[in-house]
């Protein structure tokens, strides 16, 4: 088993009612598996995250930014990255306006 830290920023912190948590996963699981676990823990995030999991578009086309260990992820292929002990995943909701 591995522990992955998930940090929620802005609107996602409000929806999840937390800013940071540790999620325990089986070794060898991917970022996609982590996002499924996040939805299970925080159903309020389901519409936003499930849209990412169910589409084949580039991650850049969604309003959620995913950062893994300080690296901005932009491709759906990035969802297949195998997570490791103490990885940090940051989820942020993009807001635009003027």
| Predicted pLDDT of residue 94 | 73
Number of domains the chain is built from: 1
For residue 94, the tally of other CB atoms under 10 A from its CB is 11
Closest CA to 69 of 56, 57, 58, 84: 84
**Cα(86)–Cα(68) distance, rounded to whole angstroms?**
11
| Predicted pLDDT of residue 62 | 60
User: Is the residue at 22 inside a domain?
Assistant: yes
Q: Is 34 helix (H, G, I), strand (E, B) or coil?
A: helix
User: Is the residue at 21 inside a domain?
Assistant: yes
Could you tell me if 69 and 6 are in contact, meaning their C-beta atoms sit under 8 angstroms apart? no
**Residue whose tokens read 């999620």:** 23
| Predicted pLDDT of residue 51 | 75
User: Is the residue at 37 inside a domain?
Assistant: yes
Which CATH number is 59's domain given? 3.10.20.30
User: Is the residue at 16 inside a domain?
Assistant: yes
The β-bridge relationship of strands 2-9 and 88-93 is parallel
Reading the chain (98 residues) residue by residue, the pLDDT tens digits are 999 999 999 999 999 999 999 999 999 999 999 999 999 999 999 988 887 777 655 455 467 889 999 998 877 678 889 999 999 999 998 765 55
User: Is the residue at 98 inside a domain?
Assistant: no
pTM score: 0.87
**Cα(59)–Cα(53) distance, rounded to whole angstroms?**
10
Domain range holding 46? Answer: 2-93
| Predicted pLDDT of residue 3 | 97
């Amino acid at each position: 088993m591995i522990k992955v830290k998930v940090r929620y920023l802005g609107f996602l912190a409000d929806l999840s009612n937390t800013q940071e948590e540790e999620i325990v996963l089986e070794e060898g699981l991917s970022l996609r598996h982590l996002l499924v676990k996040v939805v299970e823990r925080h159903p309020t995030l389901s519409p936003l995250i499930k849209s990412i999991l169910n589409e084949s578009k580039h991650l850049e086309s969604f309003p959620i930014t995913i950062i893994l260990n300080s690296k901005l992820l932009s491709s759906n292929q990035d969802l297949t990255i195998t997570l490791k002990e103490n990885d940090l995943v940051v989820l942020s909701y993009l807001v635009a306006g003027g």
